[in-house]
Amino acid sequence: MSRSGRAGKMAAVFTPRRRLAVLALICLAATPAAACTISDPAGASDTQAASSGTADTAASAGDCGPGGGLTWAPGVLTIATDDPAYAPWIIDNDPANGMGYEGAVARAVSERLGYAPDQVRFTRVGFEDALAPGPKNFDLDINQFTIVGDRRDSVDFSAPYYAVAQSVVALSTNPAAQARSLADLTGLRLGAQQHSTSLAAIEGTIRPGHTPMAFGTTDAAKAALQSGAVDAIVVDLPTGFHIVGEQIPGSVIVGQFPRPNDVTEFYGAVLEKDSPLTGCVSAALDGLYDDGTLDTMIARWLTDSAGAQVLQ
């Protein structure tokens, strides 16, 4: 499948098909070395980065596999995740079990590259450490990394494997739960994980009257929500459904951000800058889009956005 075809399919998954398919197609076909601005016929725009420029230059199947000599450890594909890694992305904090959306993607990519389960090793790397410049002790890291232009100065990104919106989560007893628009949130105390596009969504889309609180982890943000230190937190939509359904009793999804907007996210795997495996991983993802595997994984592991009102 071409980059345009892959991008259209990517955008059709978990996003409004007729609008965002066109947007992602334009972005991912843009000049690889720079961020691109996506515009739709209605005039909305979304600034995102194209996937790595090496994504279209995959090595041969033999080069990508255990005998190709391209991996950090000879004959072994090393995949990094955060610790802890949460559902619905990784189940039971065990990336090796192939469960959860990113766990399933990691397993499928490794299989497409020709690695048997005993030829795959998992390691734990912090979010910021994975994005830092310099040599990596892994081949790819899958941990909800948004493809952002300035990050590509330090690392490679694979082709995207997921397009996601941001959501607002509050306790049902907090006035934030009654918000029906982004304007209704501007006077509230809001928080999100530091250095995240969730925090950028607060600052750039809501533009609140109070400086948003930045937390070191999503767990810290959830604790602040429960204690009343903030009125609401912003997280990606699947994480929002998981918080409401399984983690914080009495919490609700206030709504999701309209798409496209300045923080519509495309997730990609992170690799070392100029990694010889970047094209291999992107080619594997191309195949997963082409045969519908990612659609099946999303249907199984990620909750659909139905029922989360759009905050205009």
- The Cα 67–Cα 168 span in angstroms is 46
Q: Residue 49's pLDDT is what?
A: 36
Give dist(CA 11, CA 29) in Å, integer: 13
Q: Give residue-wise pLDDT tens across range 32-59.
A: 322 332 323 233 333 333 344 333 445 5
Task: Give tens-digit pLDDT for 8-19.
Answer: 344 434 333 323
Backbone torsions φ then ψ of 101, nearest 5 degrees: -65, -50
pLDDT of residue 306: 55
d(CA 72, CA 112): 18
Q: Please give the angle made by the CA atoms of 67, 127 and 129, to the nearest 5 degrees.
A: 75
User: How much is the pLDDT for 131?
Assistant: 96
Give the 3-state secondary structure of 28-47.
HCCCCCCEEEEECCCCCEEE
Q: What percent of the chain has pLDDT over 90?
A: 58
pLDDT of residue 75: 96
Q: Given a cut of 80, is residue 290 above it in pLDDT?
A: yes
Return all residues near 77 (Cβ < 8 A) that are at least 6 apart: 66, 71, 110, 113, 115, 119, 120, 121, 139, 140
Residue pLDDT, tens place only, 92-139: 999 999 999 999 999 999 999 999 999 999 999 999 999 999 999 999
Query: Would you state the pLDDT for residue 260?
Result: 56
Same fold, 49-164+266-301 and 166-256: yes
**Residue in 50, 23, 20 with CA at minimum distance from that of residue 160:** 50
Q: At 71, phi and psi to the nearest 5?
A: -90, 160
Q: What is the pTM of this model?
A: 0.67
In this structure, whether the domain defined by 49-164+266-301 belongs to CATH 3.40.190.10 is answered with: yes
Average pLDDT, the chain: 80
Report the C-alpha dihedral over residues 83, 292, 164, 265, rounded to 10 degrees: 90
The neighbouring-strand residues paired with 80 are: 123, 141
* Phi, psi dihedrals of residue 214, rounded to the nearest 5°: -105, 125
State the pLDDT confidence band at 200, using cuts at 50, 70 and 90. Answer: confident
The domain locations on the chain are: 49-164+266-301, 166-256
- Which one is the CATH code of 166-256: 3.30.43.10, 3.55.50.30, 3.40.190.10, 1.10.357.10? 3.40.190.10
pLDDT in tens, 211-257: 999 999 999 999 999 999 999 999 988 889 889 988 999 999 999 88
Token pair in block for residue 128: 């910021």
Which residue type, as a one-letter code, is found at position 253?
I
CA pair distance 5, 145, nearest whole angstrom: 22
